[in-house]
Amino acid sequence: MAISDPVIDAQTPAADFTIRQMWDRYTDEEHKVWDTLYARQIDILKDRAVEEFHTGLGLLDLGSGGIPDLDVINPKLKDLTGWEVVMVPHLVPDDVFFDHLANRRFPSGRFIRKPDQLDYLEEPDIFHDIFGHVPMLTLPTFADYMQAYGQGGQRADSLGRLKELARLYWYTVEFGLIRKPEGLRIYGAGIVSSAGETPFSLESDSPNRIAFDLERVMRTDYRIDDFQQLYFVIDSFEQLLSATQQDFGPLYERLAADATTFGLTDLTDADTVIAHGTQEYARMRAADAAE
Ligand code: HBI
Ligand code: FE
């Protein structure tokens, strides 16, 4: 874990890994990084992020200037959907993560990236977590989905199905797209908090885009170090919520009986293909890496 934040280091996390935000200990430079990232993203997310994301940003007033103070945004969020944001020092163990989500607590990192790291960082910072994830928690259906996900994660943990649950999180909560009458829109936090992947996910002809299917997602690998080569597209947040409200038992039995998994660029004739990508971006990145 590469984070050096004196306020984090000075604290001993509680049993659930929570620490205090100590908002008044953020420096002007750290607040300025938030403002720089916010201004850049809000501009490129116009007509790209789903309307409910923009609504959530406004409801929590995340653009009022500087890093949001949990003491200010949590009462608003709690009123809206019963969720609150808790501060954690870094990625927490899966069982702790799922327990927080199952209790409507979203764990956010306290640190913010440095001015020279605006484009990529290996661990979620407070901009990724609060700007990326929290606005969607103001939407009741999505708020219910995230809690159902946490509960599903706790069960998956006991059944040895964490990998499949992490894939569901990855292809929806982090990198999900949704089909709207006006076109495809972004709701995944990993995309909305990324300047490069925001236009790429909607406009590049490189990645595949296929309709969301729970079992297909659970059988599909993902990569964590570059733009996605495949996006899953939902038709509504209700579709996502109902997918997690079914009994996962039969699905887990099918996964146990047939361990077929799909790679990043695979397409099957069972897929509803919305865009069959060229994979040009992946080839270009592989060529760069080979140099
Ligand atoms: N911990 N703080 C934090 N944030 C995450 O997004 C997170 C985590 N622990 C586990 C985890 N994500 C992944 O395993 C999820 O995909 C399940
Ligand atoms: Fe995230």
Q: Which atom of ligand 1 is nearest to the CA of 94?
A: 10
Q: Which ligand number lies closest to the CA of residue 89? A: 1
Q: How far apart are CA 59 and CA 138, in angstroms?
A: 8
Q: What is the CB < 6 Å shell around ligand 1?
A: 88, 91-92, 94, 97, 107, 124, 166, 169
How is the chain split among helix, strand and coil, in percent rounded to 5?
A: 50, 10, 35
How many angstroms separate the alpha carbon of residue 6 from the centre of ligand 2? Answer: 23
Residues whose CB is under 5 A from ligand 2 (ion)?
Answer: 124, 189
- Residue 186 belongs to what domain range? 11-290
Amino acid identity of residue 156, one-letter, is A
The count of domains in the chain is 1
How many angstroms separate the alpha carbon of residue 19 from the centre of ligand 1? Answer: 16
Query: What is the pLDDT, as a whole number, of residue 265?
Result: 94
Give one DSSP letter per residue of 124-177, joined into a string: --HIIIIIIIGGGGGSHHHHHHHHHHHHHHHHHHHHT-HHHHHHHHIIIIIT-E
Top mutation candidate among 1, 87, 94 for ligand 1, by most atoms within 8 Å of CB? 94
Smallest CA separation from ligand 1 atom 2, residue: 91
Per-chain mean pLDDT for the chain: 95
Record the tokens describing residue 114, joined without a space: 């440095």
Q: HSE, CB side, 13 Å, CA atoms: give it for residue 155.
A: 13
| Residue 2 domain flag | no
> What is the pLDDT averaged over residues 200-228?
96
Q: Per residue in 88-136, pLDDT tens? A: 999 999 999 999 999 999 999 999 999 998 887 778 999 999 999 999 9
> What is the pLDDT averaged over residues 183-199?
97
Of the two residues 177 and 289, the one the predictor is more confident about is 177
Question: SS3 of 118, please?
Answer: coil
| Residue 116 domain flag | yes
Place of tokens 């019963």: 82
Place of tokens 């997310």: 45
Contact (CB, 8 A) for 2 and 123: yes
Residues above pLDDT 90, as percent of the chain = 91
Q: How far apart are CA 38 and CA 84, in angstroms?
A: 21
- Type and span of the H or E element at 108: strand 105-109
How many angstroms separate the alpha carbon of residue 181 from the centre of ligand 1? Answer: 32
Q: Per residue in 215-261, pLDDT tens? A: 999 999 999 989 999 999 999 999 999 999 888 999 999 999 999 99
What pTM value is reported for the model? 0.96
| Residue 3 domain flag | no
| Residue 4 domain flag | no
pLDDT value at 214 more than 90? yes
Of the two residues 274 and 225, the one the predictor is more confident about is 274
Q: What is the dihedral of CA 72, 75, 78, 80, to 10 degrees?
A: -90
Smallest CA separation from ligand 1 atom 17, residue: 166
Smallest CA separation from ligand 1 atom 16, residue: 166
Which positions are catalytic? Answer: 128, 133, 174, 193
| Residue 5 domain flag | no
- The CATH number of the domain where 272 resides is what? 1.10.800.10
The C-alpha angle with vertex 106 and arms to 104 and 107, in degrees rounded to 5, equals 140
How many angstroms separate the alpha carbon of residue 81 from the centre of ligand 2? Answer: 19
How many angstroms separate the alpha carbon of residue 128 from the centre of ligand 2? Answer: 6
Q: Per residue in 3-46, pLDDT tens? A: 778 999 999 999 999 999 999 999 999 999 999 999 999 999 99
